[in-house]
Every structure is written in C-alpha cells, then in structure tokens.
Structure 1
Amino acid sequence: MSKIVNYSMANRRKIARFLPGKNLSTDDVRLLDKMRAAARAWQDDLDAQDVDWGLPVQDALEHLVSGRADSPAEWAGCAYYAALQIVIDHNGSDISTLASYRSPITVFTTLDDELSKAGVAADLLPSQYVFSGPPPEIAFPIPHPADGSPEIGYWPMQKAGPAINAYREASDRIDPVLRYELGELIDALDSWYSEWADGEGSFWWAEDTSVFFSVAG
C-alpha cells in the first residue's frame, strides 16, 4: 500500500493561533466551523473503512483548539495529527502532491545518505523536515501516531533556498535511481520558495512562512 506525500505553503503563527484558539476573530470562528465540518467528514470516511482510532477526529480537533492533546487512546496520535492537518490545510495554500511511495521514510532516508555523501550539509537533508512533526509555535505537545501515519513536517522558507541550491549542485553526484525523486523535491520547494522570495513586502508575505508536508495512506 502506497503513501501520498503532499505539500503546501502556510504561516506557522496562523496555524498556531488555533492551538489553542483564544481570542479568535469573527473570521477565525467561521474558519473553525469549516475545520469542524472537515473533521466530521474525515471521521465519516474512517467509519466507512471500519477504522477506529479510539478518538474521533472531530473530538481531537476540539482538544487541540482547547490547548490539549491528552487522550489516553492508543491511536489518539493518529486522530490528533489528522486534526492538525485539517488546521494546516485551512490556513495554507492549495495542496499539491509531491509523489506516492510504498515507503516514503525509506526513500527520504536513502536520499539523505546520497546527498550527505555528495557533500550536502546535515541540516539541509530532507527526512528531517518531511517528518519533522508539528512546528514549535504550537505551545503543547501532540503525540506522534503510533504507526507513523499520518505524518506532518515543515521547512522554513529561510532554509528552503539553501537546500534547493545544495540539492541542485549535488544532483549529478547521487545515485541516478534517485535523481528523479530529488528533482521532484527541488521543484516542490522552489515552487513556493520563489514566490515567497519574490513577494517580500507584499501584504501576504510573512517571515514565518514554511513549506508543510503531509504523508498519509
């Protein structure tokens, strides 16, 4: 069974303002209502597949909005990550798909090894941001899914630029089998980094903008 790696662009502080959701504006409340509808739809899909995480996604979202993620359910981390992904999706750009892999962690850790051998610095290797977990602006811990799915990661735009340059320089020196995957990752990062770098000073520009990744399936 394959897992799909998606990505989008979002501001970390916009996401964090809902976790917990205090002093929300009228527009924020409307947006939260849309998130609640999305959480119920996600849970309906799980129910149709007879998947039980022990914590409904809509309840997980309410926990996060109230500033906690403390359910004792064994699979609660899956519900919390699903709810967090809903918050990210409703505060970010349109979602694009990077690729579908049988084992994304294997692909990205192997890519780490190849890039490292080609001279790319350790703090630019991809697995650390594709699977980084929630951003630090969220003020409370969110448990990781017990089976490693879904996954969430983020990469600040300030790091994306150096990573893109380093990957391009290393591309000819890595295993040819992985060059396509690296090219797709470069294009994904650059599609948002270029817009962010060129847009400084625009009304939408923010220093804390990041590329967010989600891995699910």
Structure 2
Amino acid sequence: MSKIVNFSMANRGAVARFLPARDLTDDERRRLVGMREAARAHQDDLDAQGVDWGLSVQDALEELIAGRADSTAEYAGSAYFTALQVIIDHNASDPDTLASYRSPATVFASLDDALSAAGVSADLLPSQYIFSGPPSEIGFYIPRPLEGSPEIGCWPLAKAGPAMDAYRAVLDRIDTDLQYDLEELIKALDSWYADWNEGQGAWWWAEDGSIFFSITG
C-alpha cells in the first residue's frame, strides 16, 4: 500500500499556541471549534473502518490542547499524531501533494545517500525534516505512531533556500532514478520559500514560517 506525502506552510508558533491552548484569541477559539469537528470526523472514519487505536482522536486532541499526551494505549501515538495534524491543518495553508510512495522512508534514505555522496552537507539532507516529528516549540513529548503512520515533519523556510541551492547544484550528478523525486522536492520547497523570502516586512510574514510534511497511508 502506498503512502501519500503532503505539505503545507504554517508558522510554528501559531501551531504551538494550541499545545497547550491558553489565552486564545477569538479567532483561535473559532479555529479550535473547527479542530474538534475535524477530530470527530477523523474518528468517525476510523470507526467505519473498524480501526481502534485505544484512544479516540477527539480525546487525543483534548489532551494535546491541555498540554499533555500521557495515554498508555499501545497505538496512542497514531491518535496523537492525527490530532496534531488537525491542529496544523487549521493553522496552515491548503495542503499540496508531493508524491505517493510505496515506502517514503526508503526513497528519502536513498536521496540522503545520493546527496551526501555528491557533497551536500548532513544538515540539509531531506530525511531529517520529512520525518522530524512535531516542531520543537511544543514543550512536551508526543509519542510517535508505532508503525510510522501518520508521520509529521517540519522544516523552517529559512533553511529551505540553502537546501534548494545545494540540491540544484548536484541534481545532474545523482542517480537518474532519483532525479525526478529530487526535482519534485525542490519544487515543493520553492513553492513556499519564494513567497516567504520575498515577503519579509509584509503583515503576514513570520520568521518561524515553515513547511510541514504529512505522511499518511
């Protein structure tokens, strides 16, 4: 079964405002209503599939916005990451799809190896941000899903520019079987980096603007 890698843009601080959710503005409270509705919809879909994680997505969301994630259920990580993605989605741009892969971990590990061999520095290799987990601004530990799905990654847009430059410089020197995947990754990074980089000083601009990755399937 394939896994889909989506991406969107959000400010890390805006996401962290809900973990925990304290002193929310009127607009943030409205977003929280939408998050709760989305969490219920996710759980309804899981119930229809007969999937039981031992923790509902609604309860996972309520724990996260209370500033904790302490369920002992074996598959609670899947509920927490699904609820966290709901929070991200309600603070982010509309998502775009990077690609669908049988094994994203294998593809990006291969890209890491190829880029590293071509001279790209370790701090710019893609696996570290595609699979980075929740942003560091969240001040408590959120368990990861046991089976690696859903998965979340976060990459500051300030780092996306140097990464794209490094990738483009070596694009014609890596295995041709990986060039298409790298080109698509460059496009994904550039789709938000260009606007963010050129928009400094605009009312909407924020230093912590980031690309968030979501892997489901």
Counterpart for residue 142 of structure 1: 142
Cα root mean square deviation, aligned:
0.4
Gap runs ≥5 in structure 2: none
Counterpart for residue 42 of structure 2: 42
CA distance in 1, matches of 2:148, 2:13: 25
CA distance in 1, matches of 2:87, 2:114: 34
Structure 1 position 190 matched with structure 2 position 190: yes
Deviations 1:95-141 (A, max 9, x none): 00000000000000000000000110000000000000001100100
Deviations 1:148-180 (A, max 9, x none): 110000100111000000000010010000000
CA distance in 2, matches of 1:102, 1:187: 21
Gap runs ≥5 in structure 1: none
What is the percentage of aligned positions where both structures have the same residue? 68
TM-score using structure 1 length: 0.99
Counterpart for residue 209 of structure 1: 209
Counterpart for residue 27 of structure 2: 27
Give secondary structure in 1 for the equivalent of 2:4: strand
Counterpart for residue 164 of structure 1: 164
TM-score using structure 2 length: 0.99
CA distance in 2, matches of 1:170, 1:150: 31
Counterpart for residue 100 of structure 1: 100
Shift of 1:202: 0.5
CA distance in 2, matches of 1:154, 1:27: 24
Amino acid across the alignment from 1:216: T
Counterpart for residue 128 of structure 2: 128
Size of the alignment, in residue pairs?
217
Amino acid across the alignment from 1:118: A
Shift of 1:50: 0.5
CA distance in 2, matches of 1:214, 1:89: 10
Amino acid across the alignment from 1:209: G
Amino acid across the alignment from 1:73: A
CA distance in 2, matches of 1:100, 1:36: 28
Counterpart for residue 59 of structure 1: 59
